[in-house]
Amino acid sequence: MSKTKDFSIPKEVSHVTDKLESAGFEAYLVGGCVRDLLHGKKPKDWDVTTNATPDQILPLFEHAFYENDFGTVGVVNESCEDKTLEVIEVTTYRLEAAYSDSRHPDAVTFSSKLEDDLKRRDFTINAIAYGISQNKIVDPFNGQIDISKEILRAVGNPLERFKEDALRILRAVRFMAELHFEIEEETKKAIEEAAPALANIAKERIRDEFIRILESNNPMNALIKAHELGVLEYITRKLEEGIGIEQNQAHKYDVWEHNLRSLQHAVDKKWNIIIRLAALFHDIGKPRARKWSDEKKDWTFHGHEVIGARMAERILADLKFPKKTIEDVTKLVRWHMFFSDTEKITLSAVRRLLRNVGHENVWHLMDLRACDRIGTGRPKENPYRFRKYKAMIEEVLEDPINVTMLKINGSDLISLLGIEPGPKIGHILHALLEETLEDPSKNTKEFLEKRAQQLNRMDIDELKKLGDQGRIKKEKTEEENIAKIHRKYWVD
Ligand code: ATP
Ligand code: MG
């Protein structure tokens, strides 16, 4: 039962178990952190399990709170920089209870035995406890062997365990994605049989596991496995519509595989969840939009981005994603077909796209295009045209160089200098513009007012000359800025 291990445990964590043990209780690390330690990974959080009840735990710590009614106390490490150590969860040993709302167990029955607590856990790899002070592993279900074999095996009778809480099925898929483990045969059969019970699970719980799958390194494989196990349809049925849907000649893969490969590229690039979701769903409308064209002798998918945007919106709303996520992803799916032939389009077309997707999404849209390209099996991610398009976006986003950049304007000058509207105002403003382009620190109301008064006293021809110099400087600066953008993207 016990083995000597050489783990490095943060003092914030051992402090918690020491406190409990000094007060006469048992205290063990348990769950994901023990699994990760044994697997040679850095734990994402630290969970402690104990025979002390919440009433007994709370007085032992200065900053602790009773989180919910399920026996979990959070111990707070305020001055801790490491986010994983901010709150250490301490949970009383407990027995399995029914989850009739598919969210929380109906009632919590505390136990005095560690084994009871391990028995209620989902997979053998998550049902190992580690006593820090005795350096002792408690592993009644041989989770260590399964870790070394990289196998996910349910604790106890798998079918019963999945029927108790069907979310465990999706957790299995998530652990496959995160750890690259395989599912053991009996557990796999039980998943196939119990999968329909996922229909009763709260959407928020499904969403959270779905996000974890997408945030892992290997969602493409995990989603394929989820499909094979009959689990994917409880996240969404719509992705599977793309299976076997052959595309036009530009594509190597069917719609399903193309969506998955696009997602996997977003993951390989470590792009964020918005891009990952958009990549996964970008062509989800294709099966419903597909039509054969006799003229082209090929498939067409007109309007698939409009259909797809609506489908993605429904899927995400069903899964109770935040409104902002839904909006962003939907926009990206809606506009992913943007026309990027830079030989034919103008800056005003780029400006229109920017209005449609919004400034904050436009770079996501470029990343989505990269995913889309890689997902077709075409090797080049960043060809000239694509870089040129990005340069055009930056050009459009570039603030215009003109006198409105100044901290002073024409009507300020009229009242300050007591002069009539006319060309003189323009000369002064452009003369000021030249000086601030030369030295941006001069763009303060105070400096510009003083300088305007000096300029106002100058001879008009002299002043006009300065104004014209300003106009030339403005054009040169604009050209320089655009050249800088072009250099950045290596385009002409
Ligand atoms: P992570 O590394 O992502 O935190 P984890 O295994 O710690 O993974 P958590 O969701 O934090 O996952 O759960 C902590 C532990 O609680 C698990 O390791 C497992 O022992 C147990 N557990 C969590 N959810 C369930 C469940 N639905 N059924 C049974 N046991 C569960
Ligand atoms: Mg955890």
Task: Tell whether the model's pLDDT for residue 474 goes beyond 50.
Answer: yes
Say which ligand is closest to the CA of 35: 1
Say which ligand is closest to the CA of 120: 1
**176 within a domain of the structure (yes/no):** no
Can you tell me which residue has the tokens 């935040």?
Answer: 322
Say which ligand is closest to the CA of 125: 1
What does the pLDDT look like over 13-38, one tens digit per residue?
Answer: 999 999 999 999 999 999 999 999 99
Same domain, 115 and 29: yes
- The residue whose C-alpha atom lies closest to atom 6 belonging to ligand 1 is 32
**189 within a domain of the structure (yes/no):** no
Q: Is 31 in the pocket of ligand 1 (CB under 6 A)?
A: yes
Q: Is 128 in the pocket of ligand 1 (CB under 6 A)?
A: no
Q: What is the mean pLDDT of the chain?
A: 93
pLDDT of residue 1: 44
Residue 217: count other Cβ atoms within 10 Å of its Cβ.
Answer: 15
- The residue whose C-alpha atom lies closest to atom 1 belonging to ligand 1 is 32
What does the pLDDT look like over 244-283, one tens digit per residue?
Answer: 998 887 788 999 999 999 999 999 999 999 999 999 999 9
Q: What is the mean pLDDT of residues 389-413?
A: 92
Same domain, 286 and 365: yes
Helix segments in 78-157, DSSP class H: 114-119, 143-149
Ligand 1 probe mutation, 115, 121, 170, most atoms within 8 A of CB: 121
What does the pLDDT look like over 360-386, one tens digit per residue?
Answer: 899 999 999 999 999 988 766 668 888
What does the pLDDT look like over 99-152, one tens digit per residue?
Answer: 665 556 667 789 999 999 999 999 999 999 999 999 999 999 999 999 999 999
- Position 193 confidence tier, pLDDT thresholds 50, 70, 90: very high
Q: Is 45 in the pocket of ligand 1 (CB under 6 A)?
A: yes
What does the pLDDT look like over 453-469, one tens digit per residue?
Answer: 999 999 999 999 999 99
Can you tell me which residue has the tokens 């029927």?
Answer: 163
**85 within a domain of the structure (yes/no):** yes
- The residue whose C-alpha atom lies closest to atom 22 belonging to ligand 1 is 121
pLDDT of residue 252: 85
On the 0-12 / 13-18 / 19+ scale of CB atoms within 10 A, 423 is exposed
Separation of CA 3 and ligand 2 centre (Å): 23
Separation of CA 467 and ligand 2 centre (Å): 66
DSSP code of residue 85: G
Task: Tell whether the model's pLDDT for residue 420 goes beyond 60.
Answer: yes
pLDDT of residue 340: 82
Same domain, 41 and 95: yes
Same domain, 388 and 446: no
Same domain, 137 and 9: yes
Measured between alpha carbons, how far is residue 57 from residues 43, 62, 67, 280 in Å? Answer: 23, 11, 12, 45
Ligand 1 atom having least distance to the Cα of 165: 27
**114 within a domain of the structure (yes/no):** yes
Single out the residue in 371, 397, 423 at which a domain terminates. Answer: 397
Count of domains forming the chain: 3
Percentage of the chain beyond pLDDT 90 is 84
Domain containing residue 108? 2-149
What does the pLDDT look like over 59-115, one tens digit per residue?
Answer: 999 999 997 767 799 999 887 788 889 999 999 999 876 666 555 666 778 999 999
Separation of CA 34 and ligand 1 centre (Å): 11
On the 0-12 / 13-18 / 19+ scale of CB atoms within 10 A, 411 is exposed
- The residue whose C-alpha atom lies closest to atom 7 belonging to ligand 1 is 32
Distance CA 436, CA 451 (A): 11
Ligand 1 atom having least distance to the Cα of 212: 3
What does the pLDDT look like over 216-240, one tens digit per residue?
Answer: 999 999 999 999 999 999 999 999 9
What does the pLDDT look like over 33-47, one tens digit per residue?
Answer: 999 999 999 999 999
Ligand 1 atom having least distance to the Cα of 167: 27
Q: Is 375 in the pocket of ligand 1 (CB under 6 A)?
A: no
Task: Tell whether the model's pLDDT for residue 476 goes beyond 60.
Answer: yes
pLDDT of residue 102: 53
Q: Is 44 in the pocket of ligand 1 (CB under 6 A)?
A: yes
Say if residues 153 and 187 touch (Cβ distance below 8 Å). yes
Q: Is 167 in the pocket of ligand 1 (CB under 6 A)?
A: yes
What does the pLDDT look like over 153-191, one tens digit per residue?
Answer: 999 999 999 999 999 999 999 999 999 999 999 999 999
Secondary structure of 257-319 in the HEC alphabet?
HHHHHHHHHHHHCCCCHHHHHHHHHCCCCHHHHCEEECCCCEEECCCHHHHHHHHHHHHHHHC
Say if residues 415 and 425 touch (Cβ distance below 8 Å). no
Say if residues 153 and 146 touch (Cβ distance below 8 Å). yes
Q: What is the mean pLDDT of residues 432-436?
A: 94
Same domain, 341 and 433: no
Say if residues 382 and 391 touch (Cβ distance below 8 Å). no
Same domain, 388 and 479: no
- The residue whose C-alpha atom lies closest to atom 28 belonging to ligand 1 is 122
Single out the residue in 88, 115, 149 at which a domain terminates. Answer: 149
Separation of CA 167 and ligand 2 centre (Å): 15
Query: What's the gap between Cα 215 and its chain centre?
Result: 7
At 492, list the tokens: 């002409």
Single out the residue in 93, 119, 149 at which a domain terminates. Answer: 149
Same domain, 381 and 412: no
More confident: 192 or 6: 192
**209 within a domain of the structure (yes/no):** no
pLDDT of residue 2: 43
Say which ligand is closest to the CA of 46: 2
Same domain, 116 and 88: yes
Say which ligand is closest to the CA of 32: 1
Say if residues 421 and 427 touch (Cβ distance below 8 Å). no
Say if residues 151 and 182 touch (Cβ distance below 8 Å). yes
Same domain, 330 and 436: no
Say if residues 262 and 282 touch (Cβ distance below 8 Å). yes
The CATH number assigned to the domain holding 49 equals 3.30.460.10
- The residue whose C-alpha atom lies closest to atom 21 belonging to ligand 1 is 121
**233 within a domain of the structure (yes/no):** no
Same domain, 344 and 434: no
Same domain, 133 and 11: yes
**428 within a domain of the structure (yes/no):** yes
SS3 355: helix
**325 within a domain of the structure (yes/no):** yes
Separation of CA 36 and ligand 2 centre (Å): 10
pLDDT of residue 343: 82
